[in-house]
A = this chain, B = another copy of it.
Amino acid sequence: MKRTILIYGAVLAVLVFLLKFVEYRYIVRDLSLEFYIGLVAILFTVIGVWAGLKITRKKTIMVMQPAADFKVNEDQLRQLGISRREYEVLELMARGLTNQEIGDRLFVSLNTVKTHSSNLFVKLDVRRRTQAIQKAKELHLLP
C-alpha cells in the first residue's frame, strides 16, 4: 500500500514536470493554443483510462472470479495442507485422466499417484475422485 502511494506520487510529480515542460515549449516555439490544449487533453485522457482501470481492476477480478480468469485459492490450499504434487495430481484428475496416465505425465509410478490421490481424498474429506473434483471446484482450487 505504501509503495502504491509512492508510485502514484512519483507519477504525479512527473506529470507536473511534463506539464511545465510542454508549457515551456509552447512559449518558446509559439505553437497554437489549440494544439497545446489538445495535447494535454489526450495525455490526461490516457492517464485517466489507465488510472481508472488500475483502481477498479482488483474489484473487477473479485466479481468475475467464478467465470473467466480463474485464480487458485492458495490460502485454501495451505489451510487444507495440500502439497504441490498433490495439487498437480488433482488437476490432471479433473481432466479425466486415469491414475496411470497421471503417473506417466508426472514421471512417477502408478503407486505414487495412488498415494497422492489417497492423501488428497483425506484432505478434501471425500471418498472418490469425482467428489474430489466437485469439491475442489467449490473451494476454488480448480476452474
Contacts and interface: CB of A to CB of B under 8 A. Distances in A.
Contacts of A34: 23
Contacts of A40: 37, 40-41, 44
List the number of copies, as a whole number: 2
Interface residues of A, number: 42
A140 to B, nearest CB: 12
Interface of A: 15, 19, 23, 33-34, 37, 40-53, 56, 60, 63-68, 93-98, 126, 128-134
25 contacts: A19-B37, A23-B34, A37-B40, A40-B41, A43-B44, A44-B45, A44-B48, A45-B48, A45-B51, A48-B50, A48-B52, A49-B49, A49-B51, A49-B52, A52-B52, A52-B53, A56-B56, A56-B60, A60-B60, A64-B67, A64-B68, A67-B67, A96-B133, A97-B130, A129-B130
